[in-house]
A and B are shown apart, each in its own frame.
Chain A
């Protein structure tokens, strides 16, 4: 079972504040769920990912890169001309600027 420290560590990595009750609940729930999905370790996989036998499989492997043609094309950006709508969504705004916390500072 996951310890209290395990859950708190994951919450820190995920930038998520959890209450004490939630940490306790997650110790049980997350442990049960991970216990179930661990069944994945039982399966033998025929060949490593990326080594796809293309003679047998008529479609591209699941994970493959898609490149568009390296050719100029008209801009069809769905956000073109929507600057004001994007600014309107800022949590805090000064003129056209989004107000954010100064990053380079001593936090602790």
Chain B
């Protein structure tokens, strides 16, 4: 049987498009066929756009025009992508998978969307996520869970679960997600795709629906490291409209990665034995390829998760204060102004969002601020310094991306046990370092092969090291 064009990597599709072996319309239709087959059960897309074929025809016309003018086309010209539902595309709904914004239509393009449009990419639809990017399994979506393509009884991970499931199952060639505490890397690990959380500030956040502003970054999900790199190079860059964005020269250039550090004491806690085995194998593959590892100590890692969640609750409660039913979004009328706010927010926000707003209000309230938010801010700065120091000794920090393979839907009903799964991913958001999840094989569960990922973290601004080591690992597995 011929493999569907929807299974191509972006790089391979770009070559075939350039060589005129295929058209953008062919690729887009191949994705639409896969979507028709699987989206109903997977629930990866909340909406598939009606004009996909039209977009593809325009991309094909643009290629002809580019050739006529002797212009080099972007490798993303005519490539169909999935976009997470918290990234604004003008004229389309962006709901952040929340009842609060169910009928909200974006009034402008996010900068990342502007850049993808300029490159000529096609948008297939908007993908499911945990409401307002709060969660780790896409079970917190107001519009139903996204199922894992490798076992539909299991979660796809989150919060960018729809994007990861779409890329893993051929419903898109690549995708954009956002990463606040692992939201690109966690579903990448569970679904078996590559996911990048760029350096804080490397990608503009104009037009992203904010969750935790001091953590949020948009990042690509793709089938290969090379594809993730293509997407990152297209969306990156300083933006005058996002004062937290940085220029490409903000951090010093570093040489290619030679040494990996593994925080062994962090790995000692609560790791799945099969995941540990895969991780050891991946390190052996890298050693064989000339990149050895050594144990490292990062003392403040022991409180990273607590630091992360305190900051998350605090910023979520303040960021989501903007949803008051007055200017846009769900609006209920009560007996008085207070009731207008309280009932609109009760009806618009799901249980996890409400829980975090309450917790954020607590950690920021007078009497508790210093003990929680104040302390977390200091611990965060300390951890960041430890990272800066350790990157003088090693080029990459490696851990598994997640301590386990995808969990069953409904398995983690206690919110704290769900939070504890983020142990490896939250640190890169705390410190602002870039981090990449790359598939490191599968583990067997109940007759199904479930993917697991390895996470590489690099020095600030050193995405290049991540792509290099990621490709080294991919090549190592291929041999």
Chain A contact residues, CB within 8 Å of chain B: 2, 7, 10-11, 13-18, 22, 26, 29-30, 32-34, 36-43, 45-46, 48-49, 52, 56-59, 61-63, 66, 68, 73, 76-79, 82, 85-86, 88-92, 98, 100-101, 103, 107-108
Contacts and interface: CB of A to CB of B under 8 A. Distances in A.
A37 B327 contact: no
B123 interface: no
Given A17-B343, A17-B345, A68-B243, A49 B381 contact: yes
A29 B361 contact: no
Interface string B322-349: 0011111101000011111111011001
Shortest 4 CB-CB contacts between residues of A and residues of B? A91-B331, A85-B107, A89-B328, A17-B346
A13 to B, nearest CB: 5
Given A40-B306, A49-B377, A49-B378, A79 B337 contact: no
Contact of B309 (A17, A33, A85): A33
Contacts of A30: 355, 358-359, 362
A33 B107 contact: no
B226 interface: no
Contacts of B328: 86, 89-91
Contacts of B360: 14
B58 interface: no
Contacts of B377: 49, 62-63
Contacts of A107: 336-338
Interface string B349-391: 1010011011111110100000110011111111011001100
5 contacts: A15-B345, A26-B355, A33-B419, A62-B432, A103-B337
Nearest to A43: B303
A19 to B, nearest CB: 8
**Size band of the interface chain B makes with A:** 35 or more
Contacts, number: 168
Query: Which residue among A14, A36, A58 has the maximum number of chain B CB atoms within 10 Å of its CB?
Result: A14
Nearest to B110: A78
Contacts of B372: 37, 40
A66 to B, nearest CB: 5
Nearest to B240: A76
B108 A56 contact: no
A43 B147 CA distance: 39
A7 B346 contact: no
A79 to B, nearest CB: 6
B415 interface: yes
A37 B90 CA distance: 39
B361 A37 contact: no
Contacts of A16: 342, 345-346, 349, 354, 357-358
B207 interface: yes
Contact of B358 (A10, A77, A90, A100): A10
A29 B388 contact: no
Contacts of B432: 62
A34 B306 CA distance: 9
Interface in B81-125: 90, 104-105, 107-109, 111
B116 to A, nearest CB: 15
Interface of A is mostly: loop
Nearest to B339: A17
B378 A15 contact: no
A52 B378 CA distance: 11
B415 A15 contact: no
Given A15-B345, A16-B354, A40 B303 contact: yes
B186 interface: no
B327 A29 contact: no
A108 B338 CA distance: 10
Contacts of B154: none
Given A11-B342, A17-B346, A32-B414, 6 more contacts: A32-B416, A41-B371, A45-B382, A56-B385, A76-B240, A79-B108
Contact of A40 (B105, B310, B317): B310
B338 A33 contact: no
B460 A89 contact: no
A10 B416 contact: no
B240 to A, nearest CB: 6
Nearest to A19: B346
A40 B327 contact: no
Contacts of A49: 377-378, 381
Nearest to B252: A58
Contacts of B108: 78-79, 82, 85
A22 B358 CA distance: 11
A35 B374 CA distance: 17
A14 to B, nearest CB: 5
Given A15-B341, A17-B342, A40-B372, A62 B358 contact: no
Given A37-B306, A45-B378, A56-B385, A13 B338 contact: no
Interface in B415-433: 415-416, 419, 432
B300 interface: yes
B373 to A, nearest CB: 10
A107 B317 CA distance: 25
Nearest to B331: A91
B380 A62 contact: yes
Given A13-B365, A91-B328, A73 B240 contact: yes
B234 interface: no
Contacts of B321: 15
